[in-house]
Amino acid sequence: MTATASPPSTEPTEGAVSPPERPSVTPVEEALGSTDHKTIGRLYIAAAIGFGMLGMVAGVVSSLERVSLDGYDVFDQDVALQVFSLHRLSLLYLLVIPITIGLATVVVPLQVGAQTIVFPRLCSLGFWTWLIGGVTLVLSYVVDGGPGGAEPQARELWVAAMGMVVVGLLIGVVVLAATVLAARAPGMGLLDAPFFSLSVLVASVIWIVSLAALLASVVLGFVITTYGPSILGLSVLGAEETWILMSWFAEKPQILSLLIVGLGVGTDVIASISGAAPRARGVMFGAIAAFGLLTFGAWSQTALYPELADDALAIIGAFAVGIPFLIVLGGWFDVLRRGTPGGRGPVLAIVTFVVLALGALVAGELGVIEQLDLFGTSAISAAYGFSVAGALAAAIAALTWWASKIWGRTLNPALVQGAALLVLLGGLLVGLPELIGGFLDQPDPGSAGDLSDTRVLVSDGLESSVELLNGIALAGWALLGFGLLAVTVALAQASTGNDREAVDDDPWGEGQTLEWSLPSPPGPDDFDEVPTVTSPTPLLATEESA
Amino acid sequence: MSDLSIDPMLPVTSETSVLKRPRLVLVTTCFASAAVGMFFVSLVAYYARARADALATGEAWLDASIIRLQPPNVALGTLVLSLVFVYWLVSSVRKGDRPNAYVALVVSLVLGGAAVNVVAFMLADTGLSVGGSLVGMLVYAISGSFIALLLAAMLFVVVVGIRLLGADDPRKITEVATAAGVFWLVTTLVYSVIWYALYITK
């Protein structure tokens, strides 16, 4: 080593050039100007949770309108669409995807032995583009923009903000994919990378192509909003049309892409708490990659072209996507069987992820069975609810597991367990009523239709049942909101608590991969010396050889 | 650990602590190119689907007479020619041949500018208006996005030029030059798809 921790001398000696003093940097300055991947990742997580709380509140308010099918009791039709779209966009583009990117931005460089993330300034640019876009998106609603908005310029602002959000996310995932692919430690082959990093690579590649396709939808939407005419032949132009053009991202199979990273989180956590390394890494990675590939959904824009819902590719894909998921679960059971699983760590959050992901897969499969006639019903939203809640559970698991590397402190176990439980209950209460409502012919709330039609469309005599189901879904969104709130409190305790104690490099005592060899939190340069890796689970291998 | 203290503000540059990461720019450019490709494939797919729907219902689509074939052919030819010069640039950089690299860079930018000019001319030449019809809106969205892409590709080549000016040995920027070449290739491929979808099939 050529560097020491000793500070530069303040008394110049003869013949020596005294180094410049490091300017004092306030936390705010550090946050605004940092290119440290850990700082950027933390900012992503904090901002995503803030937006997520807004989205959960909008979800509750939006559901309130659906509790009674007697038309619009709380808002008028346009405002109801504004609140609903704010809810969906906030959870999808401002909570789930960015919190995943934030987690990966912190953890992936540590896992793969990179000294920093690839192109840190580009990473920072992606974050700020996304954040400014997200804030502008919310503000556009405040000035009566968005789908259903009455102010033309605010509607244009909404589409432009959506474009900024998508571009910011695109930059974030490009940087992550390049980090996993090109910045691994010496000796670490692609299949030797930890599964979280591999799942981030898969998710990044899928999101690169699908967010690019989404950007095309937004660009078209912007031109329509600004100039017209309609591509869909709608009487309403602009933001509503953009909303419909973008809707494929919130439907199956694309919505299932939110679950890709959860497979990687679960694999790493379960292997670590079991003390056994996953076998057949190639098969496991192949299964995660196949799952990711099958969730690509830019081709399936059923809101524009409903006949695609009955396409053979859609039907085969809906069932095939479950196979790689089950293969990964099989790998988890194999690890659990060979190891000595402990009860520590975010086990409940992983279980929550599995239950909700299975719910999303089942909802997607039921949706393509022609005889059930669920297309266009609220069963479409069931897959969305399950997927968002499942991805949130995976994020809670990851935040809990890697908290010491992100915040330098472990999270309050009671709070994160409570959060996982609330997300489990909330996810089930959101997803199941929407799925059952689909069987009762309740229209999909995402289709921007007139709520007044709902009573006409639902099966005869079952209106009160649908109202009850919608009330349960409202409770589900409220529980999910409380789950997110519990996470927020746990993170606030971890990042601002005065009783900070030093945390071990590996507070779980079970880590297998490189990040657990670093201090908690890691220093500015992560690895002073980049290690040469000879095993996919270097820490476990070192322990076994010792 | 020696007792040598260094400025903590400066990055540690010893060979033992900093790993050379090959192909970072190239890999990142490939991912960005994939996004660009998917973006244009999506736009062209919207165009193709709207055209197919219009023709299936017997509605009027694009009047073939308003699109002359010469300008798009010239644009494609210009881009293909520029591709040759961009790869001359990459080859010169790889060989450390600075004079040839400068010539190739300038000619590439001139040809890129010429292609921007032709694409912009075509928009005016067709007489379509962005808000006048669905086909006009789609043609403007696709062509406008392509002009933005071409300008981005030219900017990338300008960055190579700046790096070339500052490099003591041109071979040190081979990766950046290659990445710019890949991006230019993708830009040309994108235009070839647009050329076929918009101007040949109309």
Q: Per residue in B81-126, pLDDT tens?
A: 999 999 999 999 999 999 999 999 999 999 999 999 999 999 888 8
In the predicted model, is pLDDT for residue B187 greater than 60?
Answer: yes
Beta-sheet strands, E only, within A52-164 = none
Question: Each residue of A448-482: pLDDT tens digit?
Answer: 555 556 555 666 678 888 889 999 999 999 999 99
In the predicted model, is pLDDT for residue A23 greater than 70?
Answer: no
From CA B173, how far away is CA B96, in angstroms rounded?
9
Q: Which two tokens stand for residue A390?
A: 């499942």
Judged by average pLDDT, the poorest of A170-179, A245-254, A455-464 is A455-464
Mutation target to probe the A interface, by most A beta carbons within 10 A, among B4, B10, B17 is B17
B34 burial via Cβ count (<10 Å: 0-12, 13-18, 19+):
middle
Average the pLDDT over A510-537 and give the result. Answer: 85
Q: Which residues pair with A377 in a beta bridge?
A: A443
Give pLDDT, residue A202: 98
Kindly state the DSSP code that residue A499 receives in the 8-state scheme.
S
In the predicted model, is pLDDT for residue B20 greater than 90?
Answer: no
Q: What residues in A contact B12, CB-CB < 8 Å?
A: 2-3, 525, 528
Judged by average pLDDT, the poorest of A75-89, A146-160, A165-179, A233-247 is A233-247
Give pLDDT, residue A20: 60
Report CB contact under 8 Å: B27, A182: yes
Looking at the complex, does the CB of residue A175 fall below 8 Å from at least one CB of chain B? yes
Contact A433, A473 (CB under 8 A): yes
Amino acid at B34: A
pLDDT grade for A9, boundaries at 50, 70 and 90: very low
pLDDT, averaged across chain A: 88
Contact A287, A294 (CB under 8 A): no
> In this predicted model, which residue has the larger pLDDT, B18 or A332?
A332
Give pLDDT, residue A541: 77
In the predicted model, is pLDDT for residue A504 greater than 50?
Answer: yes
Angle, helices A195-227/A152-182, rounded to nearest 10 degrees: 160
Kindly state the DSSP code that residue B192 receives in the 8-state scheme.
H
> In this predicted model, which residue has the larger pLDDT, B40 or A465?
B40
Beta-sheet strands, E only, within A238-348 = none
Report CB contact under 8 Å: A115, B5: no
Looking at the complex, does the CB of residue A270 fall below 8 Å from at least one CB of chain B? no
Give pLDDT, residue A498: 59
Average the pLDDT over A341-364 and give the result. Answer: 91
Looking at the complex, does the CB of residue A306 fall below 8 Å from at least one CB of chain B? no
From CA A378, how far away is CA A459, in angstroms rounded?
13
Contact A324, A290 (CB under 8 A): yes
Match 């279980």 to its residue by tokens: A351
Looking at the complex, does the CB of residue B60 fall below 8 Å from at least one CB of chain A? no
Question: From residue A140, how far is each of A170, A246, A341, B83, B99 by CA, in Å?
Answer: 22, 17, 49, 43, 52
Enumerate residues 112 to 151 of chain B having a beta carbon within 8 A of any beta carbon in chain A. Answer: 130-134, 137-138, 140-141, 145
Looking at the complex, does the CB of residue B196 fall below 8 Å from at least one CB of chain A? no
Asked, as a colleague might, if the bond just before A522 is cis with ω within 30 of 0, I would say no
Report CB contact under 8 Å: B24, A182: yes
Provide the whole-model pTM: 0.90
Enumerate residues 466 to 525 of chain A having a beta carbon within 8 A of any beta carbon in chain B. Answer: 525
A502 burial via Cβ count (<10 Å: 0-12, 13-18, 19+):
exposed
Enumerate residues 214 to 233 of chain A having a beta carbon within 8 A of any beta carbon in chain B. Answer: 215-217, 219-220, 223-224, 227-231
Least Cα distance to A387 among A360, A367, A363 occurs for: A360
From CA A184, how far away is CA A205, in angstroms rounded?
17
From CA B177, how far away is CA B87, in angstroms rounded?
9
Nearest CA in chain B to A23: B9
Least Cα distance to A285 among A268, A306, A310, A302 occurs for: A268
- With a CB cutoff of 8 Å and minimum separation 6, the contacts of B106 are none
From CA A254, how far away is CA A298, in angstroms rounded?
7
Q: What residues in B contact A533, CB-CB < 8 Å?
A: none
Contact A341, A357 (CB under 8 A): no
- With a CB cutoff of 8 Å and minimum separation 6, the contacts of A488 are A49, A53
Question: Each residue of A71-89: pLDDT tens digit?
Answer: 777 788 888 889 999 999 9
From CA A82, how far away is CA A92, in angstroms rounded?
15
Q: What residues in A contact B7, CB-CB < 8 Å?
A: 8, 19-20
- With a CB cutoff of 8 Å and minimum separation 6, the contacts of A221 are A159, A162, A238, A239, A241, A242, A243, A245, A246
The whole-angstrom distance between B193's CA and the closest CA on chain A is 16
Contact A150, A496 (CB under 8 A): no
pLDDT grade for B11, boundaries at 50, 70 and 90: very low
Question: Each residue of A303-340: pLDDT tens digit?
Answer: 888 888 888 888 999 999 999 999 999 999 999 999 88
Looking at the complex, does the CB of residue A190 fall below 8 Å from at least one CB of chain B? no
Looking at the complex, does the CB of residue A456 fall below 8 Å from at least one CB of chain B? no
In the predicted model, is pLDDT for residue A1 greater than 50?
Answer: no
Nearest CA in chain A to B131: A227
Question: Each residue of A375-420: pLDDT tens digit?
Answer: 888 888 899 999 999 999 999 999 999 999 999 889 999 999 999 9
Average the pLDDT over A162-176 and give the result. Answer: 97
> In degrees rounded to 5, what are phi and psi of residue A356?
-70, -35
From CA A119, how far away is CA A140, in angstroms rounded?
31
| Number of residues in chain A | 546
The whole-angstrom distance between A103's CA and the closest CA on chain B is 20
Give pLDDT, residue A229: 63
pLDDT grade for B162, boundaries at 50, 70 and 90: very high
Q: Which helix (H) or strand (E) holds B115?
A: helix B98-126
In the predicted model, is pLDDT for residue A500 greater than 70?
Answer: no
Judged by average pLDDT, the poorest of A24-28, A248-252, A430-434, B126-130 is A24-28
In the predicted model, is pLDDT for residue B79 greater than 80?
Answer: yes
Report CB contact under 8 Å: B137, A178: no
Looking at the complex, does the CB of residue B59 fall below 8 Å from at least one CB of chain A? no
Q: Which two tokens stand for residue A160?
A: 């432009």
Q: Which helix (H) or strand (E) holds B82?
A: helix B70-95
Percent of chain A with pLDDT over 90: 58
> In this predicted model, which residue has the larger pLDDT, A483 or A26?
A483
Give pLDDT, residue B4: 33
Average the pLDDT over B151-179 and give the result. Answer: 95
Residue A535 region by backbone torsions, left for phi larger than 0, else alpha for psi between -120 and 50, else beta:
beta
In the predicted model, is pLDDT for residue A273 greater than 70?
Answer: yes
Give pLDDT, residue A152: 87
Contact A328, A287 (CB under 8 A): yes
Residue A143 neighbours by CB distance under 10 Å: 14
From CA A433, how far away is CA A440, in angstroms rounded?
10
Enumerate residues 4 to 43 of chain A having a beta carbon within 8 A of any beta carbon in chain B. Answer: 4, 6-9, 19-20, 22
Give pLDDT, residue B66: 82
The whole-angstrom distance between B114's CA and the closest CA on chain A is 25
pLDDT grade for B129, boundaries at 50, 70 and 90: confident
> In degrees rounded to 5, what are phi and psi of residue B188?
-65, -40
Judged by average pLDDT, the poorest of A353-367, A509-523, B140-154 is A509-523
| Partner residue opposite A298 with nearest CB, options B42, B140, B141 | B42
Give pLDDT, residue B202: 78
Question: Each residue of A412-442: pLDDT tens digit?
Answer: 999 999 999 999 999 999 999 999 999 988 8
Q: Which of A33-37, A137-141, A226-230, A366-370 has the highest mean pLDDT?
A: A137-141
Average the pLDDT over A240-255 and give the result. Answer: 89
Nearest CA in chain B to A4: B5
Average the pLDDT over A3-14 and give the result. Answer: 40
Helix, strand and coil content of chain B, in percent to the nearest 5, comes to: 75, 0, 25
Give pLDDT, residue A343: 65
Give pLDDT, residue A230: 62
Q: Which two tokens stand for residue A413?
A: 């176990």
Report CB contact under 8 Å: A227, B137: yes
CB pairs under 8 A between A and B: 141
Helix (H, G, I), strand (E, B) or coil at B1: coil
